[in-house]
Amino acid sequence: MTHAEARAELDRLWAQGCAFLGTPTAIMGGAMSWVSERNLVSAISNAGGFGVLACGSMTPSLLEAEIAATQALTTKPFGVNLITMHPALDELVRITLAAGVGHVVLAGGLPPPAAIRAIKDGGAKLICFTPALALGRKLVRSGADALVIEGSEAGGHIGPVSLTVLAQEILPHLNEAPVFVAGGLARGDAILAYLEMGAAGAQLGTRFVCATESIAHPNFKRAFLRAAARDAVPTIQLDARFPVIPVRALVNDGTRQFLDHQADVIRRFQAGSLARDEAQLEIEHFWAGSLRRAVIEGDVENGSVMAGQSVGMVRSEAPTAGIIGELVEQAVATLVARAGARVPAPAG
């Protein structure tokens, strides 16, 4: 198999994803708060991928300005990720649609029916996350045009199941809509394997944090470049009465202080000096603003350095186009090598 034939085979494998996204490669950028802003999102789209703007906790006016700024940097398709629990979700949807964004990602919980209807009526394509086959089918019936299955290897807020298991549970059985895989991905040969299992494309976040165009603080990027896979761990919950949403991040002083903070709050609750709801709020508020402190201000010792386990494969800062090009070439090289291994040796 020649290089050109291998590239044609790769294009065949992710044709459904490319058609859905409107891009030459079916590589989505993960929506990372403070990182996935105008510069990185436009760079991913300009390089042939599909950038996704992270709304996070932005106000409607801030999101409107960020979409406009992104559109000033690229004419290529990109999406907007909205958190379903945002108190102004309906207004965020309206602003996104009014700006002409063609793809909306709803994350962080079950998408409200009103938001789904508004997105569909507005002519945009809806992407949702699913942790299970049955829910994925339900989301498609409700209006989702594509799904993302994200394994626990991912950075930030995570579910309990790895991508290798989710892919086996879902990809062979869900054919109603394109399914993109996410979590722990950093190489093109791994993406290829999931495409051959039936995925339409892949979503990567951690791999793009150290892109040249990423505005993440140099300290944040250095933390990624130094880290090993085992350094990215989920937050630990000390008491089931006070649930902690699991977040995968690099271990630092902040994660250790969080354990001490939980223990102190629990002691005060047990001593009767804190009501249960007050104790829960104190635990939840510990990380308030910590992601921004790490990403923007560079406080990687006390802030939250959210990273997926693929961080161990992020070894250098590189232009976004170079990262996407490397992923494509790794997939193509695997196809070429595999075909060469099957060629019988000449007689004699």
% of the chain at pLDDT higher than 70: 98
pLDDT tens for 14-42 read: 999 999 999 999 999 999 999 999 999 99
Distance CA 19, CA 225 (A): 34
345: pLDDT strictly greater than 70: no
Answer whether 250's CB lies under 8 Å from 307's CB: yes
Rounded mean pLDDT of 303-312?
A: 97
Residues spanned by CATH 3.20.20.70 within the chain?
3-204+318-342
348: pLDDT strictly greater than 90: no
Which residues 6+ apart lie within 8 Å of 270 measured at CB?
A: none
**Alpha helix (H) residue ranges in the chain:** 3-13, 15-21, 38-46, 60-73, 89-98, 113-121, 133-142, 163-170, 188-197, 206-209, 218-226, 253-270, 276-285, 290-295, 320-342
Q: Specify the pLDDT at position 202.
A: 98
CATH of 3-204+318-342, one of 2.70.180.20, 3.20.20.70, 1.10.10.10, 3.40.47.10: 3.20.20.70
Which of 4-13, 284-293, 322-331 has the least mean pLDDT? Answer: 284-293
Distance CA 102, CA 122 (A): 9
Paired sense of beta strands 146-150 and 125-129, if any: parallel
CA-nearest of 15, 63, 73 to 39 is: 73
In the block, which residue shows the tokens 């354990």? 259
Output DSSP code: residue 50.
B
Instruction: Compute how many other C-beta atoms are within 10 angstroms of the C-beta atom of residue 256.
Output: 10
In the block, which residue shows the tokens 């802030």? 303
Answer whether 143's CB lies under 8 Å from 120's CB: yes
Q: Specify the pLDDT at position 53.
A: 98
Rounded mean pLDDT of 119-137?
A: 97
Sign of CA dihedral 84, 89, 90, 93: negative
Q: Specify the pLDDT at position 344.
A: 57
pLDDT tens for 134-179 read: 999 999 999 999 999 999 999 999 999 999 999 999 999 999 999 9
Q: Specify the pLDDT at position 284.
A: 84
Which of 175-184, 253-262, 323-332 has the least mean pLDDT? Answer: 253-262
Output DSSP code: residue 272.
T
Q: Which residues of 89-119 are buried (b: 16+ CB within 10 A; e: fewer)?
A: beebbebbbeeebbbbbbbeeebeeebbebb
Instruction: Compute how many other C-beta atoms are within 10 angstroms of the C-beta atom of residue 263.
Output: 12
Q: Specify the pLDDT at position 245.
A: 85
Could you tell me the two tokens for 51?
Answer: 């950038």
341: pLDDT strictly greater than 90: no
pTM: 0.94
CA-nearest of 143, 136, 131 to 174 is: 136
Answer whether 191's CB lies under 8 Å from 271's CB: no
Rounded mean pLDDT of 91-116?
A: 97
Question: Residue type at 183?
Answer: G
H helix count then E strand count, the chain: 15, 11
Instruction: Compute how many other C-beta atoms are within 10 angstroms of the C-beta atom of residue 5.
Output: 13
Rounded mean pLDDT of 256-283?
A: 92
Q: Specify the pLDDT at position 347.
A: 54
Distance CA 199, CA 149 (A): 10
- Stated length of the chain: 348
CA 110-62-246 angle, to 5 degrees, is 40
Phi/psi of residue 83, each to 5°? -85, 125
Answer whether 305's CB lies under 8 Å from 252's CB: yes
